[in-house]
Amino acid sequence: QVQLVQSGAEVKKPGASVKVSCKVSGYTLTELSMHWVRQAPGKGLEWMGGFDPEDGETIYAQKFQGRVTMTEDTSTDTAYMELSSLRSEDTAVYYCATPRLGWNYEPQPWDYWGQGTLVTVSS
Amino acid sequence: QSVLTQPPSVSGAPGQRVTISCTGSSSNIGAGYDVHWYQQLPGTAPKLLIYGNSNRPSGVPDRFSGSKSGTSASLAITGLQAEDEADYYCQSYDSSLSALYYVFGTGTKVTVL
C-alpha cells in the first residue's frame, strides 16, 4: 500500500517561489510515476505535470511550462514540485498523485493521493 | 480551460438514480483513451471511483457504474445515498497539442435532496 504525505501549508508573496514535497512510503519512488494536480478554491482539478514512464521524462502542462519544476530525491523517496513567479491565481491546494503498479490503461488511473498542501499567495 | 465538459450540478432524492456526463472530442475520449472517475468529498483529496471506463476498485459500492461511448462517458449512481454528496470528476488523455496530456472534466457537484 502506497502512502503519500505532503508538506505543510505555505504562505508566499507574489513573485516568490514555493516548493512542495511529497514523501512516499510503501514503495520506492523509482517504482512510481508521480503527478501533480492543483485545485483553486471552489474550482476543479487541474493537472500540472508528471512523470511519463514511456519516455522516462517529466512532462509539464503547457500552462505551467517554464514556471514549474518537478524533481525527485530517490534517496529519501520524496518528490518535489516547485512553482515560481507566484501570483494570486496560484492560490490553491496542490496534490501529488500516482497510479499503482501494473495498470494497463491509457491513461493510468491514480489510486494514491497525498493529503494536499494549501499554498496561499498574498501580499 | 478543461476539454472535458461536465454538468456543474446534479441532484436527486435518496434512492433515486442520477447520471453525470463527461463530454469530450476526437482528441481525447473519442480517440479511444480510457476514462476514469474520481469522487471528492468536501475537504478531502480525490478518490478513484471508476477506472478503465467501467470498472470499480475494491471497496466501491456497486451502485456506482461507468460507461463510455463515442466522445462521451457517463457515471451513474443508483440508489443515491446521503454520503454520495460530493464532487465528481472524469479524467482522460488529450492529444490535441501534439503530446499526450492528462485532462480532467470540469467537475459535477452531486446534491442529495
Q: What is the pLDDT along chain B (113 residues), one digit of tens a residue?
A: 678 999 999 999 999 999 999 999 999 999 999 999 999 999 999 999 999 999 999 999 999 999 999 999 999 999 999 999 999 999 999 988 777 799 999 999 999 99
* Cα atoms in the Cβ-side hemisphere of radius 13 Å centred on B6: 27
CB-CB under 8 Å, B36 with A114:
no
C-alpha cell at B49: 471511483
- As a whole-number percent, the residues of chain A with pLDDT over 90 amount to 88
Q: Which residues contact A115 (CB under 8 A, 6 or more apart)?
A: A4, A5, A6, B45
Question: In whole angstroms, how far apart are CA A64 and each of A19, A49, A82, A104, B88?
Answer: 15, 8, 11, 28, 24
Min Cα–Cα distance to chain A from B52, Å: 6
CB-CB under 8 Å, B105 with A107:
no
CB-CB under 8 Å, B48 with A110:
yes
Instruction: Please give the mean pLDDT across all residues of chain A.
Output: 95
What φ, ψ does residue B74 adopt, rounded to 5°?
Answer: -140, 145
Query: Using a CB-CB distance cutoff of 8 angstroms, which residues of chain B are in contact with residue A20?
Result: none
pLDDT in tens, A81-118: 999 999 999 999 999 999 988 888 889 999 999 999 99
Of B4, B38, B10, B1, give the one whose Cα is nearest residue B113.
B10
